[in-house]
């Protein structure tokens, strides 16, 4: 059991019989009346963000959430399969729990958010950046445009990413998995 004084960004609480993570909070002490805490809460299952106000000192239940390293193995018609990096235990996860599954690569390490009390998977988070090889892109002609122009490129797992004209087939590029966007050409 915790109070509003224990709030911090990323804390997972039980609210309205569901799990929410605190995205943002602000203690407010008006000149007249009691203090309160204004929060933005993100539902872990649906991703919906809601604004809520708690009276100062309100007690809330804090959920025990653990982040565990897993390695992506493969996908079939049932879902995605992962292996725990330390215990080698394999589990099955449905697609809606994975953030941007189109950027998953076999053997890639991900972070799985697990509710410690029920051992249920809440979400699967990919690394923020992944490096992939471009397997197909139309050739870009120098001087085609006066401004920044982008073209479609197909990367090694079949996803389509918008890239600058100078990216060619065979180049390795860094992709931001949260924004689903090209970041830079890989220097490695």
Kindly state the average pLDDT of the residues 8-30: 89
Q: Quote the pLDDT of residue 143.
A: 62
3-class DSSP string for 24-91: EEEEECCCCCCCEEEEEEEECCCCCEEEEEEECCCEEEECCEEEEEEEEEEECCCCEEEEECCCCCEE
**Per-residue burial over 52-89, b = 16 or more CB atoms within 10 Å of its CB, e = otherwise:** eebeeeeebeebebeebebbbeeeeeebbbbeeeeeee
Tens digits of per-residue pLDDT, 30-52? 888 899 999 999 888 777 889 99
Q: What is the pLDDT of residue 165?
A: 84
Cα torsion 94, 95, 101, 104: sign: positive
pLDDT at 141: 66
Mean pLDDT of 144-153: 74
User: Are 124 and 110 within 8 A, CB to CB?
Assistant: yes
| pTM for the full predicted model | 0.73
pLDDT confidence of residue 32: 87
Which domains can be identified in the chain, with CATH numbers?
A: 2-62 (2.30.30.30), 65-125 (2.40.50.140), 129-185 (2.40.50.140)
Q: Model confidence at 98, in pLDDT bands (50, 70, 90)?
A: confident
Tell me the per-residue pLDDT of 123-136, one tens digit each, with 9 for 90 and over: 888 898 988 888 88
Instruction: For residues 63 and 12, give the distance between their C-alpha atoms in angstroms, rounded to a whole number.
Output: 6
């Amino acid at each position: 059991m915790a109070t509003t004084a224990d709030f911090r960004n990323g804390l997972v609480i039980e609210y309205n019989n569901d799990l929410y993570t605190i995205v943002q909070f602000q203690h407010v002490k008006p000149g007249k009346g009691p203090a309160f805490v204004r929060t933005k809460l993100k539902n872990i299952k649906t991703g919906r963000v809601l604004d809520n106000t708690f009276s100062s000192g309100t007690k809330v239940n804090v959920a025990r959430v653990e982040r565990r390293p897993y390695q992506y193995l493969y996908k079939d018609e049932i879902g995605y399969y992962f292996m725990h990096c330390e215990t080698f235990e394999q589990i099955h996860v449905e697609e809606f729990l994975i953030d941007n599954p189109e950027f998953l690569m076999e053997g890639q390490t991900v972070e799985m958010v697990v509710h410690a009390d029920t051992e249920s998977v809440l979400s699967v988070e990919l690394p923020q950046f992944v490096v992939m090889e471009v397997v197909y892109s139309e050739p870009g002609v120098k001087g085609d445009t006066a401004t920044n122009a982008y073209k479609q490129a197909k990367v090694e797992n079949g996803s389509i990413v918008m890239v600058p004209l100078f990216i060619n087939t065979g180049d390795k590029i860094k992709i931001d998995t949260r924004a689903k966007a090209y970041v830079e050409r890989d220097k490695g």
